Amino acid sequence: MDDSEISPDPYRAYRFRLEIRGVAESHFTECDGLEVYAGPNPELEPLPGRVEYRAVTLRFGVGSRALWEWIMTTSTGSPERRDVSIVSLGNDAGEVTRWDLFATWPTEWRGAPLDSTAEEVAIESVTLAAETIHRT
C-alpha cells in the first residue's frame, strides 16, 4: 500500500483529553478560556479584586455517552458539579500539562453540523463553568 492509499488518522489532532472523575470521557482539538481574572479592587488599588474563572470551551469530535448524560442532567435544572481535568498530550500521547477544574458543570453544548458530503471531521463543543482552576 502506498502513501496515497493510507487514510489520515482522525485522532492525530486530538491532543487534549477531558477526564471526569479521573475517567477519560472525550478527546478534543481545541480548548479556549482557561483564564483567571483578578480584576482591580477600586477601593484598594492596586490590590487585586475578586477572582473570576472564565468559562472553558472545548471543541472535540469524540465524546462519550457519560459526557452527554451529564450535559442533559444539567439542562433539566439540576446541575451536578464534578471535578474534571483537561490534559494536554504530547506526540507520544503522554501527559504534558494538566488543568484541574473543580466544582464544574456544563453550561452549553453545540452539536456539529451534520453534512455527509463534508470532508472534515464533525466537531462538537461543550462549555464548562468552574468554581476554581489549578494547573499541575
Instruction: Provide the sign of the torsion angle of the four alpha carbons 12, 25, 95, 106, taken in this order.
Output: positive
pLDDT tens per residue, range 39-93: 766 565 566 667 888 999 998 766 688 888 999 999 888 889 999 999 998 888 8
Contacts of 82 (CB under 8 A, 6+ apart): 20, 21, 70, 103, 104, 105
The residue length of the chain stands at 136
C-alpha atoms less than 13 angstroms from C-alpha of 124 in its C-beta half-sphere: 14
> Measured between alpha carbons, how far is residue 101 from residues 17, 29, 106 in Å?
13, 18, 12
Q: Determine, yes or no, domain membership for 60.
A: yes
- Count structural domains, the chain: 1
Q: Does the predicted model carry a pTM greater than 0.85?
A: no
Question: What CATH number has the domain bearing residue 118?
Answer: 2.30.110.20
What is the domain range of residue 56? 26-135
